[in-house]
Amino acid sequence: MAIAAQTPDILGERQSGQDVRTQNVVACQAVANIVKSSLGPVGLDKMLVDDIGDVTITNDGATILKMLEVEHPAAKVLVELAELQDREVGDGTTSVVIIAAELLKRANDLVRNKIHPTSIISGYRLAMREACKYVEEKLSMKVEKLGKDSLVNCAKTSMSSKLIAGDSDFFANLVVDAVQAVKMTNARGEIKYPIKSINILKAHGKSARDSCLLNGYALNTGRAAQGMPMRVAPARIACLDFNLQKTKMQLGVQVLVTDPRELERIRQREADMTKERIEKLLKAGANVVLTTKGIDDMALKYFVEAGAIAVRRVRKEDMRHVAKATGATLVSTFADMEGEETFDSSLLGQAEEVVEERIADDDVIMIKGTKTTSAVSLILRGANDYMLDEMERALHDALCIVKRTLESNTVVAGGGAVEAALSVHLEYLATTLGSREQLAIAEFAESLLIIPKVLAVNAAKDATELAAKLRAYHHTAQTKADKKHLSSMGLDLSKGTIRNNLEAGVIEPAMSKIKIIQFATEAAITILRIDDMIKLVKDETQNEEE
């Protein structure tokens, strides 16, 4: 393609060398500048309005970038980077984008000063490995037998920049209880916390502090008919993925009837088929029937008579979680190998009870005491949709962070402490190297300082002074053996001073920091390797010939 682009008759434009690099860096800086002001406990929110006028108010980096329509290919790398961080860790999406953009900017300056990109890339890689090793060996603390306090502190740190920061004590406890409630041991004997089993329901009204944790999986729908019982215990649950409605012939099927009496029998048979299916379900012992599709009135009558609860139009995602939690099998057809319709009781899931409860103005079905994994539901209350959506995003981040802390068992101090310590360490490392990578590693060390600086700027504090103080503390911690405890010094943004963030309870899982450094470096390297961009223009003449 590159060769073709050089021939004069090809349609398209080619940019190469420094032009492309500068353009890529500018595009990435623009993306980072958008999320920069939302970092930290005093970060500001963004209001995003899409093309149909839907409003989203958030300061979650991944959400902001997902909603932007990014045209530039290099800037798209940063958007994907934020999504990757969201998937892998769940939090730290803003930090990862800011660090990647800063690494790029500094790398671009080095290239301008006649240092080859390959040298910079190998320097960055070396710095990344060294930084991750240093975090694991020197900065991370084992949280012995993880007391609930440190988990609550991790959740509070994650929420500190969000809308619910004012009630972070209350929500952090909710989050920790929820994650610990879904604890399970998998087949290999590892303890896992599947936070997918935590269902988050949003209900208008009351204040945020009226949110609560319910023991059981809540479905955001009520019973299909009023005559059904409110409570069934013990529950045997059937999960279906088809209509329980009067069977209709498929489109395009023609039935030629010569005798009008046959017509009535066809109608009767159509009604009986649904009745037989329901009888099979009830005979197998099902007393709760959930379906993703509809149930018509005739079918409801049979459930009411049998004293069973039927729920229609259940979301596919909810259905999967219920099936997993109760040990049920999601059935999409009753047909067996012989072409007969059967339903075996082994396909049913079990739970201690299924009840309908009223929350705000909505009825919800609660499935309690599930058989295989325990499931819990967080009911969020709040004034309006924007607030509830942002609360949900904040809780998602906090849930992920608590899960990572429990599974990895190590934490580091927050508030710029890790970045400052790494900056000092890598700068020292750079001076010991006699190779070309020295400059790249020194720039990598400088880049990491962007986090404490942005934190300070967002808090309306003097960034240069605070960053200098912070580095002085970490230099002392790394050079004097008796001052090791200073390595957890970080920023206190409400007072604009330096404090020991481990003691202050500002902590994050070590894994989050390591992933941020790895992903940001990889993204920066990916974009730095580009030195040629060829944009092909669609050839109009071909279309006309066709």
Q: Which residue numbers are catalytic?
A: 60, 93-94, 397
In three-state form (DSSP H/G/I as H, E/B as E, the rest C), the secondary structure along 45-98 is CEEEECCCCCEEEECCHHHHHHHCCCCCHHHHHHHHHHHHHHHHCCCCHHHHHH
Q: 380, 202 in Cβ contact below 8 A?
A: yes
Centre a 10 Å sphere on the Cβ of residue 387 and count the other Cβ atoms it contains: 19
**114's torsion region: left (phi>0), alpha (psi -120 to 50) or beta?**
left
- H/E run at residue 314: none
Residue 127 DSSP label: H
At residue 440, φ and ψ (nearest 5 deg) are -65, -40
Distance CA 518, CA 511 (A): 11
Beta strands in 306-361 (DSSP E): 309-311, 330-331, 349-359
Q: 274, 298 in Cβ contact below 8 A?
A: yes
Beta strands in 223-372 (DSSP E): 231-232, 235-240, 288-291, 309-311, 330-331, 349-359, 362-370
Choose among 329, 368, 332: nearest CA to 346.
329
Place of tokens 């920069």: 36
Place of tokens 């259940």: 314
Q: What is the DSSP string of 507-534?
A: EEEHHHHHHHHHHHHHHHHHHHT--EEE
Beta strands in 419-529 (DSSP E): 489-492, 497-500, 507-509
Distance CA 278, CA 398 (A): 43
467, amino acid identity: A
Choose among 411, 410, 394: nearest CA to 505.
411
Tokens of 494: 């409400």
Tokens of 472: 């002085």
- DSSP lists the bridge partners of residue 214 as 377
Distance CA 503, CA 534 (A): 53
Tokens of 15: 């940019």
SS3 3: helix
- CA 21 to the chain's CA centroid: 31
SS3 244: strand
- DSSP lists the bridge partners of residue 139 as none
**313's torsion region: left (phi>0), alpha (psi -120 to 50) or beta?**
left
